[in-house]
Amino acid sequence: MTCQAYRNQLVSYVEELLDAAAAQDLEVHLRACADCRGEEVATRQLHERLLQAGAQPIRGVVEQRVMDEICSRRADRPAKLSVAAGARPSRRPMTMLLVVAASVAICVGAALFAWMGGPSDRSSVHPAPNQIAGLEPEKIRQARAQLAAALDVLAAADGGDETVFAQGVQTCLSEYDNQVAKARGGTGPQRN
């Protein structure tokens, strides 16, 4: 066997994986070959160093921490899509409600603006409040009712965005009521 062939066995030797015959053969060679003996010493030193590096006691175990963290992060995701029984409602339904409320608010706001008269048609004859912007009176009332209902829900919410939006809805409703009152009292937009 060549020196290289013996050296290839050194890791198995220090790991005590060589069978008795192969180990004895290697030891005979090591006694006779200074270079290979030097290799054996270096291999054993590195082996000990690796064992020592890996032998540090590790602090605790991460298994439960990992599983807890996974559960926690997984819980974050489905929570947005479903509401567990007895749990605090997630914010997703609120977001949808905001979208609906915003749509209604825009619709009512646009109607009010048209009713009050935009810059381009300020001189035109405006319809009565119950006939504004081509919307039927019933739809106007429904829109207002929806806004009011949205406001009730928003008032119970504890989120900053919802509160700000609620204030916007309240302003919109107040403006609508004011304009209707003015129109009924003859103080609304002047008709030509």
Partner 1 sequence: MEPSDERCVEQCLNGHADEYRLLVRRYERPITSYLQSRMGDAEAAAEAAQEAFVRAYFRLDRLRRGAAFFPWLVSIAHRVMLETFRRRRQVTSLAAAGELVAPAEDDMQNDGELAKAVARLPDVYRETTILRYFGGLSCAEVGERLDIPLGTVTKRLSRAYALLRDALTPADKNEDEVRR
For partner 1, which is the closer residue by CB, 57 or 119? 57
Candidate list 3, 5, 66, 145; residue touching partner 1; CB under 8 A: 66
Q: Does 85 bind partner 1 (CB under 8 A)?
A: no
Which residue among 62, 83, 148, 181 contacts partner 1 (CB under 8 A)?
62
1 is a contact residue toward partner 1 (CB under 8 A):
no
What does the chain look like in DSSP terms, one character per residue?
--HHHHHTTHHHHHTT-S-HHHHHHHHHHHHH-HHHHHHHHHHHHHHHHHHHHHTSPP-S-SHHHHHHHHHHHHHHHHHTT---TTSPPPHHHHHHHHHHHHHHHHHHHHHHHHHH--GGGTTSPPPPGGGGGG--HHHHHHHHHHHHHHHHHHHH---HHHHHHHHHHHHHHHHHHHHHHHHHTT-SSPP-
- Amino acid symbol at 57: P
Q: Distances in Å between the alpha carbon of 42 and those of 2, 45, 49, 74? A: 19, 5, 10, 49
Q: Does 67 bind partner 1 (CB under 8 A)?
A: yes
Under a CB-based contact definition with an 8 Å cutoff, are residues 33 and 3 in contact?
Answer: yes
Binds partner 1 (CB under 8 A): choice among 3, 8, 106, 141: 8
80 is a site residue for partner 1 (CB under 8 A): no
Judged by beta carbon, residue 63 or residue 138, the one nearer partner 1 is 63
Q: Closer to partner 1 by CB, 59 or 88: give it.
A: 59
Range in contact with partner 1 (rule: CB under 8 A) among 69-77, 133-141, 158-166, 173-181? 69-77
Q: Is 43 in the site for partner 1 (CB under 8 A)?
A: yes
56 contributes a contact to partner 1 by CB under 8 A: yes
Return the number of the residue (41 or 96) whose C-beta is nearest partner 1.
41
69 contacts partner 1 (rule: CB under 8 A): yes
19 binding partner 1? (CB under 8 A): no
Query: Which parts of this chain interact with partner 1 (CB under 8 A)?
Result: 8, 10-12, 15, 17, 42-43, 46-47, 49-63, 65-67, 69-71, 73-74
